[in-house]
Amino acid sequence: MKNGFRRTLQALVVGASVTLSFSYSAQAIPPIRVVVLGDSLMSGYQLQPEQAFAAKLRRKLLEYGFSNVEVTDMSVPGETTGGGAERIQQVLALRPDVVVLELGANDALRGINTSVIHTNLSTIMGKLAQNRSYIVFVGMKAPSNMGYSYSAQMEASFRSLAEAYKASFYPFALEGVVGHPDLNLADGYHPNARGVDVMVERIYPLVDAGVRARWNELAYQQQYDNQMINHMEVQGGVALPTGSPQLQSPTAPPIPEALGNR
């Protein structure tokens, strides 16, 4: 009777394993969540929603083969690093895999002390790091009227934060946009739709690297889970693995030649 029960239980577990394996294998890699946390430079100030940074970043990811990426825009016009620090729990609630962090421009315009900016950004990046989010840190330069000392302190602070939190660092959000009237709104400061295109094009390789790294992690985990389910046997009434999974390198969307050369 005992052996019969054991064989029956084993058959049930094996049968269940086949069912579980089939249903899990049929699923794609779980969605990769990207959050953009910025100010009006990212939020699409005076632009249509589809012209904002997050929307264009999503389309760029699709263009490069990442159909399972969700991009959420948490950018707010006028946002400061202090405001970002206050909202960081809202960002973490989304369980982001990759965060594009662009804050500091409004702090500089208000002349907020660079040590305060540093502390606020450190709070944000520290919590993102605890969440194991891949950080794409987009820097900012202070306006010229703030003087050389303030500008130098701000840039040095951004670099030190990037190093401390091992963030992927893009030093200046408006690189290639500032000083080009055809890429800016009439105020000469905010990017127009074409200016946002330039920002996305330049920042995208950093985002791609983060998404690709997370994609590989999820693909390996999926392989592991599938193989563990497929290699189970009942021992003493407990389902146990029969061997170590033999994992293969996952195949992420190929890196386009133009992107790989950057």
CB 58, CB 32: distance < 8 Å: no
| DSSP alpha helix (H) spans, the chain | 2-25, 40-43, 53-63, 81-86, 88-92, 105-109, 114-130, 148-164, 193-230, 257-260
Q: Do residues 230 and 23 make contact, with C-beta atoms less than 8 angstroms apart?
A: no
Residue 188: strand, helix, or coil: coil
Give first-to-last CA distance, the chain, whole Å: 68
Evaluate whether 117 touches 83 at the Cβ level (below 8 Å): no
Give the residue numbers marked as catalytic. Answer: 40, 187, 190
Tokens of 63: 């263009």
The candidate with the shortest Cα–Cα distance to 137, out of 105, 106, 166, is 166
What is the DSSP code (8-state) at residue 145?
G
Q: Who's near 31: CB < 8 A, 6+ residues apart?
A: 68, 69, 70
